[in-house]
Structure formats: C-alpha cells, structure tokens
C-alpha cells in the first residue's frame, strides 16, 4: 500500500509528527495549551570540519529545509 505522503517524500516519522501536532491542536483549550508545550523543541547544532566549527543552525529549521528538498525529489 502506498500512501500519498510517502510519494511526496515525507517520512513515516514526519507523518506521525504532523498527525500528532494536529491532534494536539484539536483539544479543548485548557488541555491544548498543556499538550502543545510538548510539541516545542529548541535544539541547535553545528557541523565541525578540519577542526573548525561551522555555522550554528537550528535543528528544526534544518530538518524542514531537508524535508522540502526531499519532497522536491520525491524522496529519492
């Protein structure tokens, strides 16, 4: 069975994250605020090469950019 999101280059992990995010947003407001805090993450990373630290990037932004690149090529 092929899923439409798979054809668009989205991984199963990303699919689950999107589905979970939308479920959290659909809760009644009091529970939604508590649950949405779980979806937030802030992680930065830097690639080191030749003993020098590269640019510090936000992991979520870098992941989103990689996902767009993956979607453009259909996950190939």
Query: What residues line the site for other proteins (CB under 8 A)?
Result: 1, 4-5, 8-10, 15-20, 22-29, 31-32, 35, 38, 67-68, 71-72
What count of other Cβ atoms lies within 10 Å of the Cβ of residue 58? 13
CA atoms within a 13 Å half-sphere pointing along the CA-CB vector of 26: 6
Helix (H) or strand (E) holding 15: helix 12-25
Nearer to other proteins among residue 6 and residue 57 (C-beta): 6
Cβ atoms within 10 Å of 63's Cβ, excluding its own = 14
CA distance 25 to 17: 12
- Residue with Cβ nearer other proteins (32 or 47): 32
At closest approach, how far in Å is the CB of 22 from other proteins? Answer: 5
Our CB check for other proteins shows the closer of 23 and 46 to be 23
Compute the least distance from the CB of residue 48 to other proteins, in Å. 29
């Amino acid at each position: 069975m092929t899923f439409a999101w798979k054809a668009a280059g989205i991984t199963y992990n990303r699919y689950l994250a999107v589905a979970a995010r939308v479920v959290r947003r659909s809760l009644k407001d009091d529970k939604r605020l508590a649950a949405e805090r779980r979806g937030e993450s802030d992680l930065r990373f830097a690639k080191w090469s030749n003993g020098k630290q590269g640019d510090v990037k936000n992991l979520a932004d870098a992941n989103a950019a990689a996902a767009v690149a993956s979607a453009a090529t259909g996950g190939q």
